[in-house]
Amino acid sequence: MGLDQANTAAISAAIAPLSPCDILILSNGPGEISTWVRPVVRSLREHLPDHSQARLSVVLSPCANASGREAEMACQLPGVDRVQGPEHFFSFLVTGKTAKNWDWHPRGVVLFLGGDQIYPVVVGRRLGYRTVIYAEWDARWHSWIDRFGCMTANIVEAAPREFRYKCEVVGDLMADVQGEAVNREAVNDSQGLALGGQRLSLNSDHDLIGLMPGSKKNKLSVGLPFALGTAEAIHRLRPNTQFVLPVAPMLSLEALAQFADAAQNPDIQLIEGAATAELVEPNSPLPRLRTPSGLEVLLWQTSPAYDVMSQMQFCLTTVGANTAELGSLGVPMMVLLPTQKLEAMKAWDGIPGLLANLPLVGDSLAKIINRLVLRQIYKEGKLFAWPNIWAKREIVPERLGPLKPQDVAAQVVDYLESPSALEVMRQELRSVRGEAGAAAKLAAMVVKELRS
């Protein structure tokens, strides 16, 4: 019997006698919802399909990288019964009551999929539920948590010896991305790729280059015109290129296009070589952004966008969970952090992030903090892309500073003209991820705890 079969058998044997129960998922940012919560909810519902038997709730905590639409994203996940947004989180943490005064079954599990690991300790104790943490980098609060699903064996080995029995290697939730891209019902052929009403014509003589400038205002105001300017510069150097921009969930095409309009986005003037664009046929299956030179960038609205991402020869991306998704798919990339607008960089951890996000004075403080932080980054060689963080070295190039689109374009073309270098990058990206199947194993762990 294979490992997946064993997990399925264990779950199937466990669910029959269960009385009605609750599974409360704690999460926070858009990356966690897309790449952690989505596959785990799907796996839980494969084995706990009866909503009257197992109710799945998602409670979100505040996140510096949040777009403000995480609750909507979670509500759209098939299998989720109810969602509470981050604005009510601390009231829930302190009082144990949700904004809508949810009821809770006597039996349940709190499952941590993003945020601070102290949260499941507090919530689990308050509700009287078992607690399970997905530990990507480390496991904390060993004496208070019931089970840890660990990405790697290193996390288990780092745990105090007396608590290692609580830890189990489940693998890498992000590695399940690759399997999802393979299993989705897309049509791939010599003519193109179609999904959800969209069809992308793929020419075998053309390179498909992805643009992923982010989903929030503080990234898009600089990132989108920078990406468009870079695309134009690449196209001038290498005319046989196509460009696609996977649109972030919950971001409308009209809202996206505003950042490519000089009349609505004053930050465009900060970037030498940036490009503007207009939205073309927004209601058609093939909406595009068209630059003044006539270059068109397809806007891919199907989410998750793994199908089109897996077809990319190269991707220009900002930092975030998208670097992990691209890495799991083995897509070569360049990670860009233009610093032309220092006050836009507010996603630092700890006290710097809190100060940079203060009302009224946040922008001024952000400029000062970012100058200091960037100086330290240059000194220490800090890495931002998840594949590089995992490998503790630069697998994919990171470019930080007052970048120019034409310089980035030249570097991208150098990569495209060196297939062997791209293949090395693909292989190294695949090598740094953990094993797939984590969602199924984590679901088995949750069900086991429901019976404890």
Evaluate whether 249 touches 32 at the Cβ level (below 8 Å).
no
Q: At 422, give phi and psi (nearest 5°).
A: -65, -40
3-172+435-450 and 182-431, same CATH topology: yes
Cβ(167)–Cβ(427) below 8 Å: no
User: Looking up tokens 């981050």, which residue turns up?
Assistant: 86
CATH of 3-172+435-450, one of 3.40.1410.10, 3.30.70.120, 3.40.50.720, 3.40.50.1000: 3.40.50.1000
Q: Could you give the C-alpha distances from 204 to 208, 242, 311, 412, in angstroms and in order?
A: 10, 11, 11, 19
pLDDT in tens, 15-56: 455 789 999 999 998 888 988 999 999 999 998 999 999 999
Residue 370 pLDDT greater than 70, yes or no: no
Please give the pLDDT value at position 384.
Answer: 83
Architecture of domain 182-431: 3-Layer(aba) Sandwich (3.40)
Specify the pLDDT at position 217.
82
- Look at residue 318 in the predicted model and tell me its pLDDT: 92
- Predicted confidence at residue 206, as pLDDT, reads 82
Q: Can you give the pLDDT at residue 162?
A: 96
User: Which residues are CB-contacts of 196 (< 8 A; sequence separation ≥ 6)?
Assistant: 301, 302
| Torsion on CA atoms 29, 31, 32, 35, rounded to nearest 10 | 160
Segment 74-93 mean pLDDT:
95
Residue 351 scores a pLDDT above 60: no
* pLDDT of 401: 83
Write down the pLDDT at residue 236.
Answer: 96
d(CA 216, CA 362): 17
3-state secondary structure of 8: helix
Do the strands 398-401 and 54-60 form a parallel or antiparallel pair, or are they unpaired? Answer: unpaired
| Size of the chain, expressed as the number of residues it contains | 452
Q: What is the pLDDT of residues 115-136, one digit of tens each?
A: 999 999 999 999 999 999 999 8
pLDDT at position 113 over 70: yes
- At 179 the pLDDT is 57
Predicted confidence band of residue 379 (pLDDT cuts 50, 70, 90): low
Averaging pLDDT over each range in 126-130, 179-183, 299-303, which range is the top one?
126-130
> What's the pLDDT score for residue 13?
46
Quick check: helix, strand or coil at residue 283? coil
More confident residue, 348 or 219: 219
The whole-chain average pLDDT of the chain stands at 85
Average pLDDT over residues 290-317: 92
Give the pLDDT confidence score for residue 177 in this predicted structure: 66
pLDDT confidence of residue 6? 52
Domain boundaries, the chain: 3-172+435-450, 182-431
The whole-number pLDDT of residue 173 equals: 87
Report the percent of the chain where pLDDT is more than 70: 80
Q: Which two structure tokens, joined as six digits, stand for 203?
A: 């020419």
